[in-house]
Structure 1
Amino acid sequence: MSAFWLLPVVAGLALLLTGVMRRYALSRSLMDIPNARSSHSQPTPRGGGVAIVVSFLAALPLLALHGLLPWPMLWAFLGAGGLAAGVGFLDDRSHVAPRWRLLAHFLAAFWLLAWVQGLPPLALLGRSLDLGGIGYVLAAFYLVWLLNLYNFMDGIDGIASMEAICVCLGGAVLYALIGQPLLALTPLLLVAAVAGFLYWNFPPARIFLGDSGSGFIGIVLGGLSLQAAWVDSRLLWGWLILLGVFLTDATLTLFRRLARGERILEAHRSHAYQVAARRYGAHLPVTLATGALTLCWLLPLAAWVALGDLDGLLGLALAYAPLGLLVMRETGVRT
């Protein structure tokens, strides 16, 4: 029995729940108030990402019951995603100390890795490389970094939603290319959930994701990439390529701030996408450019790697080099 009917249902549920969350945030004064480091100018409700969490997680057991999602992946997403979203929602409502947030993030990562069985052997330069225990550690830091960078990159209207949609669409295409179209349902469910939310978050945004939504999307994307890696090790390179826009901007900006001796936990607006939004005087062009780069530049390279016609490490270098230059050019402009 096909489960593709779940996609419009999940999108509709996320659409309705986001409206409910917006009314809840307004009634409880859960507002994102602009400050000197913000990229928006009007107080805006936050916490809308809860709608994505609920609609996506509620649909996963149906996939598992139909044999379209392995049960270990179900428990991985429920536990890790729920924990990331829960601590994020607490932080949205009040404030959770950074050390406790980080502890929760690592617990979520290790929970996910326990069910996924860590990092599979990597396809590297024509050979298979098994990292063993080191692979678990690297995968944990990868998941925690994705979780946090998604929060850092959720700074202008629609950009985090656009990235999630385009990356997961790309991941679904990769599954289809290797002859596993039914496995595409899980990333497509996240596409549907985020699309329902994007109706409210599209520039000009009427509600923001909040830490609950951004952290959840970050760790789920990491989990999806590891799930794909166990299907075919080349797919991990494909997912890393698809995530290139956010990974290059967040990582290079972090290193530049460290080199300048800045406090990396302090809010700022020096990411390339933030600089670009100020340059254009609008969020929409940058949000659309994020999607265009992912689908038009990164997806073809990811597909090339997934089909085995290009080495994964070389594909990653080809994908990231121009993105890195773009980030360096934008962040080198002082505004």
Structure 2
Amino acid sequence: FIGGVWGLYWLGGLGPISIFGSAINLGWLGNFIALIYVVWMLNLYNFMDGIDGLASIEAICACLGASLIFWITGNYSLILAPLILAFAVAGFCWWNFPPARIFMGDAGSGFLGVTLAILSIYSAWTSSALLFVWLIMLGVFIVDATLTLLRRLVRGDAVYEAHRSHAYQFASRQLKSHKKVTFGVAAINVFWLWPMALIVGKQWMDPVLGVFISYLPLIALAIFFKGGSLERKETAV
């Protein structure tokens, strides 16, 4: 929370957001929502860093995808920071790709979550549509982590305890492969989420509607892989 407040202070808080054609300045409420968003991004990125290469690939896809959209839309001043982050993570991913030889840990995943959140809020000061570009590009992580948390809360689970009930974790066990899941997430980012993010970035579709459409198949996929369901107990013989 302290890190989130510090970042939002230097960004000037959350800028005006355009929803269905109307620009809305949420003031202190917007800043509070932005703070919760930053903290949630830190935690969800930590939750989603559970199999080889996944967190690295997600950051690379999101940063390169957003940078390309910034270039296409003429927002050149926003390109450098996510591009640098993408190449930094790519250097790490060389060793983190399945089968991984090094791991990100809480410090690495937490840093990426906070940094991606701050970059997205910074982009909103140029155009609120660009905030939604980030929300779409990070959709796999946002949907899986949020759906899993909500299902565990409703069930009464102790959400602060470690678990292995995210959709990507069920998928990796079902497919018996980290690599297949990581490649699958990369494919979703490139062939589904990036085109949708481009449509929103070019303002050919309302951003809220774009996020809604982008997330629908992700929600269906998370439910299909039983994200947030009770873990099967394995008995040692």
Decide: shared fold, TM above 0.5. Answer: yes
Q: Which of the residues 56, 60, 75 maps onto 1:161?
A: 56
Partner of 2:171: 276
Q: By how many angstroms is 1:182 displaced?
A: 4.4
Partner of 1:141: 36
Q: By how many angstroms is 1:207 displaced?
A: 1.2
Q: Matched residues in 2 for 1:326 and 1:264: separation? A: 22
Partner of 2:4: 109
Identity %: 51
Partner of 2:221: 326
What is the identity, as a one-letter code, of the residue corresponding to 1:194?
V
Q: Is residue 131 from structure 1 mapped to residue 32 from structure 2 by the alignment?
A: no
Q: Matched residues in 1 for 2:72 and 2:127: separation? A: 12
Q: By how many angstroms is 1:328 displaced?
A: 1.1
Tell me the alpha carbon deviations over residues 271-311 of structure 1, each in whole angstroms, 9 at most, x when there is no partner: 00000000010100101111111111011111101111100
How is 1:1-335 mapped onto 2 (pairs within 5 angstroms)?
106-331=1-226, 335=232
Choose 1 or 2 for highest CA Rg.
1
Q: Matched residues in 1 for 2:36 and 2:4: separation? A: 8
Q: Matched residues in 2 for 1:118 and 1:154: separation? A: 28
What is the identity, as a one-letter code, of the residue corresponding to 1:170?
G
> How many residues get paired?
230
Q: Matched residues in 2 for 1:260 and 1:232: separation? A: 39
Q: Matched residues in 2 for 1:204 and 1:229: separation? A: 37
Q: The residue matched to 1:263 in structure 2 has which SS?
A: coil
What is the identity, as a one-letter code, of the residue corresponding to 1:118?
G
Gaps of 5+ in 2: 233-237
TM-score, normalised to structure 1, is: 0.67
Q: Matched residues in 2 for 1:173 and 1:124: separation? A: 24
> What root-mean-square deviation, in Å, do the aligned CA atoms of Structure 1 and Structure 2 show?
1.1
Q: By how many angstroms is 1:177 displaced?
A: 1.6
